[in-house]
Structure 1
Amino acid sequence: MFRVDLSQNRLSRLSQKRFSDLNLRERDHLQEWLANQPDALGEELLIIQKEFDGFDETRERLDLLALDKDGNLVVIENKLDDSGRDVTWQALKYTAYVSGLTKTQIVDIYQQYLDRYSGGGNAAVRICEFMEVEELEETVLNPGNDQRMIFIAANFRREVTATVLWLLGRGIRAQCFKVTPYSFDDELMVDIQQIIPTPEAADFMIGMSSKENEEKAIQNTQKKRHQLRLDFWEAALDQLRADGVTLYQNISPTKDHWLSAGSGTRSCPYQMIFSRDEARVEISLQRSETAENKWLFDQLYGQKEAIEAAFGAELDWRRMDDKKASRIVYAQPFEGFNREAWPDMIGWLAAHIQKLETAFSGPLSRLNPHVRSQDEIA
């Protein structure tokens, strides 16, 4: 690996190191790096526990336990300079142990992690945010035999790679990541590369397990909710068009609990939200860079008094410092799953999405030159 010196137009070779030479430890260093930056493994993962030892009749500990975007549990085993001979056997045991975890147990495990390592928070809410659903009952966590294994080491022994390839050939999802430390002067860098399977390899399909009945029931609930939302948005859009509301005139109904329309500022849509307990209108600042979202939020918050006067009510300003996005929200309680409540709900949404557009169109247009300049830089 090389460092590019643009001022001299030259390459400088980085010095490859061993973790042991750098006095770096598996638990104190590599594990912490991955726990705080799990997307270093090439995908969005939610770390729900570390040093997990909640197995019946054994005190063994797995390094990291995570959820992927499909709700699958991911067992992550970290080694340093050498994978060792027994890492696959360890991971197989841990994966077998966690395969029977229920949704309630997973939420409890994550809650313990948040309370111990992250200063608290609501585990169910954070899982919903990660899974991009409105309510926990819409999710399937730890489905079937879809548990996964990730092995991390600087070097892998042949018996380990042979076993992982054998597992892959039988539909068990396992990955090997090679992690290599480099130094340049006082800087320390780490290269993390997936070596098995290659990133281009196709995903492996795995069958259903003993939790099939529970999963089918949840899937049926999902289908009903999706149809309910589709019906609601069809009715809402028909009414908005009848009322002459043009903001959503080119938008089609969806099965999602939200419906977005452009605000004139890229990745900052106006949104109407339909849920079981309430209706919401909001502007969502969801640009690719966290700093841009927080800058936009702060600029708008500086005009809070004028914006709320134009809107006609106090808004809920959610900067959400621990998240990439920020939101500005106005909500009203409704029985969303009661179709008889829909006319009032739709009328409320139509009135308040127009008020939201009126309140924010001017401030956003004045901020647009800065936003566009950032887009050009990107």
Structure 2
Amino acid sequence: MFRVDRTQNRLSRLVQKRFSDLNLRERDHLQEWLANQPDALGEELLIIQKEFDGFDATRERLDLLALDKDGNLVIIENKLDDSGRDVTWQALKYTAYVSPLKTTDIVAIYQQYLDRYCGGGNAVEQICEFMEVEDLSEVVLNPGNDQRMIFIAANFRREVTATVLWLLSRGIQAQCFKVTPFMLGDELIIDVQQIIPTPEAADFMIGMSSKENEEKATQDTQKKRHKLRYDFWEAALEQLRAEGVEIYRNISPARNHWLSAGSGVRSCPYQMIFSRDEARVELNFGRADAVENKWLFDQLYGEKDQIEAAFGAELTWRRMDANKQSLIVYASPFDGYNRDIWPEIITWLVDHIRKLEATFREPLARLNHQLRNHDEDGN
């Protein structure tokens, strides 16, 4: 690895090091880095426990336990300068140990992690946010035998790489990441590279999985729900356009449980929500700066009586002090997955998103003007 000196138009070689030379330890350093930055492994992962030892009849500990975006459990085994000979055997044992875990078990494990390492939080809410679902019942956590293994080390022994390749050929998801420390003066730089399967070969290795696994994936319940939501939004958008609701004029149907449209304030969209139990409309304050979100919410809350009078009903005001975002919501219960009542739900959504937009149009424009003036003044 090299540093580019652009003024001299020259390369400077970074000094490759061993973890042991730098007095870096697996648990105190590498594990902590990955626990706090799991996307260093090339994907979004939710770390739900570290040093997990919740196995029956054994006190063995796996390094990190995570969820991926498909709800699969991911066993992450960290080594430093040498993978050792037995890391695949360790990971296979841990994978077998966690394979029976149910959704309630996973929630409890993650709640313990939040309470111990993150100062608390709601495990169910955070898993739903990570999985991008409205309700935890919409996904299956730890389905079937789809657990995954990730191995991390500076160097891998042949017996480890051979075993991982064999597991991949049998449709078992496993990856090896080579992690290398470099020094640039006093600065420590870590290079993380996936070596098995290589990114170029990943699709080929996936294609080697069994026909049975492929058929199972195509029949997954989550995909059915995605199709159902897409069909719903397609019908809803058709009616919105027919009734002249302009904010959704250029929006396309999606598989998510929400559909957003601009409010005129950056990152504060109007949203229609379609779930199994209810439909709702809301104004979502989701700007990058939490202070700005709370300021916008508080300014509008100061006009609560006038706003609710204009809307024609009481709204639910969710400041959510522990989160970055805030919401203003109006909801109604519906059996959302009953296609026979979709016309009724869509009519309700069209009526109330129109009211919501009309109610907040002037207050939002006024507050947006204040925000822009604040930014221009640099205060």
TM-score (norm 2): 0.81
Give distance in 1, aligned partners of 2:137 and 2:211. Answer: 19
Match of 1:351 in 2: 355
Shift in Å at residue 262 of structure 1? 3.1
Specify the code of the residue in structure 2 equivalent to 1:331.
Answer: Y
> For residues 200 and 298 of structure 1, do their structure 2 counterparts lie closer, same or farther at Cα, with a shift above 3 Å needed?
farther
Specify the code of the residue in structure 2 equivalent to 1:196.
Answer: I
Partner secondary structure for residue 247 of structure 1: helix
Match of 1:279 in 2: 280
Give distance in 2, aligned partners of 1:8 and 1:369. Answer: 43
Residue segments in structure 1 that go unaligned for 5+ positions in a row: 287-291, 372-378
Give distance in 2, aligned partners of 1:309 and 1:13. Answer: 66
Match of 1:42 in 2: 42
Match of 2:147 in 1: 147
Would you say 1:121 and 2:125 are equivalent positions? no
Answer yes or no: is the 8 Å Cα contact 2:74–2:150 preserved in 1.
yes
Specify the code of the residue in structure 1 equivalent to 2:103.
Answer: K
Would you say 1:297 and 2:301 are equivalent positions? no
> For residues 368 and 283 of structure 1, do their structure 2 counterparts lie closer, same or farther at Cα, with a shift above 3 Å needed?
farther
Give distance in 2, aligned partners of 1:92 and 1:247. Answer: 52
- Offset from partner CA, 1:284-331 (integer Å, 9 cap, x none): 536xxxxx444753674685568768845785345765x6xx344333
Shift in Å at residue 71 of structure 1? 0.7
> For residues 43 and 225 of structure 1, do their structure 2 counterparts lie closer, same or farther at Cα, with a shift above 3 Å needed?
closer
Shift in Å at residue 278 of structure 1? 5.4
Answer yes or no: is the 8 Å Cα contact 2:272–2:279 preserved in 1.
no
Specify the code of the residue in structure 1 equivalent to 2:286.
Answer: L
Shift in Å at residue 361 of structure 1? 3.8
Match of 1:12 in 2: 12
Give distance in 2, aligned partners of 1:352 and 1:301. Answer: 15
Match of 2:181 in 1: 181
> For residues 314 and 63 of structure 1, do their structure 2 counterparts lie closer, same or farther at Cα, with a shift above 3 Å needed?
closer
Answer yes or no: is the 8 Å Cα contact 1:274–1:336 preserved in 2.
no
> For residues 83 and 297 of structure 1, do their structure 2 counterparts lie closer, same or farther at Cα, with a shift above 3 Å needed?
same
Give distance in 2, aligned partners of 1:257 and 1:157. Answer: 46
> For residues 53 and 262 of structure 1, do their structure 2 counterparts lie closer, same or farther at Cα, with a shift above 3 Å needed?
same
Give distance in 1, aligned partners of 2:355 and 2:300. Answer: 20
Answer yes or no: is the 8 Å Cα contact 1:279–1:336 preserved in 2.
no
Answer yes or no: is the 8 Å Cα contact 1:145–1:208 preserved in 2.
no
> For residues 174 and 33 of structure 1, do their structure 2 counterparts lie closer, same or farther at Cα, with a shift above 3 Å needed?
same
Partner secondary structure for residue 104 of structure 1: helix
Specify the code of the residue in structure 1 equivalent to 2:180.
Answer: T
Instruction: Report percent identity of matched pairs.
Output: 62
Give distance in 2, aligned partners of 1:310 and 1:183. Answer: 61
Match of 2:312 in 1: none
Aligned residues: 359
Give distance in 2, aligned partners of 1:83 and 1:2. Answer: 26
Please say which of residues 256-265 and 105-114 is displaced more in the overlay.
Answer: 256-265
Residue segments in structure 2 that go unaligned for 5+ positions in a row: 309-314
Give distance in 1, aligned partners of 2:35 and 2:103. Answer: 21
Match of 2:86 in 1: 86
Answer yes or no: is the 8 Å Cα contact 2:15–2:183 preserved in 1.
yes
Shift in Å at residue 112 of structure 1? 1.2
Shift in Å at residue 17 of structure 1? 1.1
Partner secondary structure for residue 4 of structure 1: strand
Shift in Å at residue 189 of structure 1? 1.2
Specify the code of the residue in structure 2 equivalent to 1:349.
Answer: I
- Offset from partner CA, 1:25-75 (integer Å, 9 cap, x none): 101110011001000000000011111111111111110011100111110
- Offset from partner CA, 1:103-159 (integer Å, 9 cap, x none): 111111111111111111111111110000000000011112211110000111111
Shift in Å at residue 266 of structure 1? 6.3
> For residues 236 and 161 of structure 1, do their structure 2 counterparts lie closer, same or farther at Cα, with a shift above 3 Å needed?
closer
> For residues 346 and 75 of structure 1, do their structure 2 counterparts lie closer, same or farther at Cα, with a shift above 3 Å needed?
same
Give distance in 2, aligned partners of 1:240 and 1:107. Answer: 38
Give distance in 1, aligned partners of 2:307 and 2:210. Answer: 52
Answer yes or no: is the 8 Å Cα contact 1:272–1:280 preserved in 2.
yes
Partner secondary structure for residue 97 of structure 1: helix
Shift in Å at residue 347 of structure 1? 2.7
- Offset from partner CA, 1:79-124 (integer Å, 9 cap, x none): 0010001001101111111111111111111111111111111111
Match of 2:333 in 1: 334
Answer yes or no: is the 8 Å Cα contact 2:264–2:364 preserved in 1.
no
> For residues 314 and 125 of structure 1, do their structure 2 counterparts lie closer, same or farther at Cα, with a shift above 3 Å needed?
closer
Answer yes or no: is the 8 Å Cα contact 1:144–1:208 preserved in 2.
no
Partner secondary structure for residue 247 of structure 2: coil
Shift in Å at residue 349 of structure 1? 3.1
> For residues 307 and 247 of structure 1, do their structure 2 counterparts lie closer, same or farther at Cα, with a shift above 3 Å needed?
farther
Q: Please report the RMSD computed on the Cα atoms of aligned residues, expressed in angstroms.
A: 3.5
Specify the code of the residue in structure 2 equivalent to 1:92.
Answer: L
TM-score (norm 1): 0.81
Give distance in 2, aligned partners of 1:331 and 1:225. Answer: 24
Give distance in 1, aligned partners of 2:184 and 2:318. Answer: 47
Partner secondary structure for residue 101 of structure 1: coil
Please say which of residues 254-263 and 201-210 is displaced more in the overlay.
Answer: 201-210
Partner secondary structure for residue 156 of structure 1: coil
